[in-house]
Amino acid sequence: MGISVDMPEESAALCKKAGYTFTFLSDPNAVAIRKYDLLHAGAGVNGHDIARPGEFLIDSGGTVRWVNLTGDLKVRAKPEELLKAADVLP
Amino acid sequence: MSEITGTPKRNWNWRIWAGFALAAAAFLSYGVVFIRFPITRDVPWLNWLLFAGAGWLLWTGVRRARQESTVYHGKIAGPILMVLSLTMAAFFIIGTNYFTKHLPASKEAPKLGAKAPEFALADTNGKMVTLATLLSEPMPEKEGAGAKPRGVALIFYRGYW
Same-domain status, A47 and A58:
no
> Per-residue pLDDT tens for A15-30?
888 888 888 999 999 9
Same-domain status, A44 and A85:
no
Task: Name the residue range of residue A27's domain.
Answer: 1-52
Same-domain status, B91 and B128:
no
Same-domain status, B90 and B25:
yes
Give chain B's mean pLDDT. 90
Do residues B16 and B22 lie in contact, with contact meaning Cβ atoms separated by under 8 Å?
Answer: no
Same-domain status, A10 and A43:
yes
Same-domain status, A7 and A38:
yes
pLDDT of B153 over the 90 cut: yes
Counted domains in chain A: 2
User: Looking at chain A from residue 11 to 40, which residues have their Cβ under 8 Å from any Cβ of chain B?
Assistant: 11-12, 14-15, 21-27, 31-33, 35-40
DSSP B74-111: -TTHHHHHHHHHHHHHHHHHHIIIIIHH-----TTSPP
The CA distances from residue A52 to A37, B15, B90, B99, in Å, are 9, 42, 25, 12
Cβ distance B156 to A38 less than 8 Å, yes or no, reads yes
Q: What percent of chain B has pLDDT over 90?
A: 75
Q: What percent of chain A has pLDDT over 70?
A: 100
Same-domain status, B84 and B112:
no
Same-domain status, A2 and A44:
yes
The mean pLDDT of B26-41, rounded to a whole number, is 93
Do residues B19 and B54 lie in contact, with contact meaning Cβ atoms separated by under 8 Å?
Answer: yes
Strand order in the sheet with B151-156: A64-68, A54-59, B151-156, A2-4, A24-26, B120-123, B128-130
Same-domain status, B64 and B140:
no
Same-domain status, B95 and B115:
no
pLDDT of B144 over the 60 cut: no
Q: Kindly tell me the burial class for residue B107, based on how many C-beta atoms sit within 10 Å of its own C-beta (0-12, 13-18, 19 or more).
A: exposed
Same-domain status, B15 and B28:
yes
Q: pLDDT band at residue B5, thresholds of 50, 70 and 90? A: low
Distance of residue A6 Cα from the nearest chain B Cα, in angstroms: 6
User: Looking at chain B from residue 49 to 108, which residues have their Cβ under 8 Å from any Cβ of chain A?
Assistant: 96, 99-101, 103-104, 106-108
Task: Name the residue range of residue B157's domain.
Answer: 106-161
Q: Which of A9, A41, A58 sits opposite B154 (nearest CB)?
A: A58
The mean pLDDT of B18-32, rounded to a whole number, is 96
Boundary of a domain, candidates B101, B122, B151: B101
pLDDT of B1 over the 60 cut: no
Cβ distance B44 to A74 less than 8 Å, yes or no, reads yes
Same-domain status, A59 and A70:
yes
Q: pLDDT band at residue A46, thresholds of 50, 70 and 90? A: confident
Q: What percent of chain B has pLDDT over 70?
A: 91
Counted domains in chain B: 2
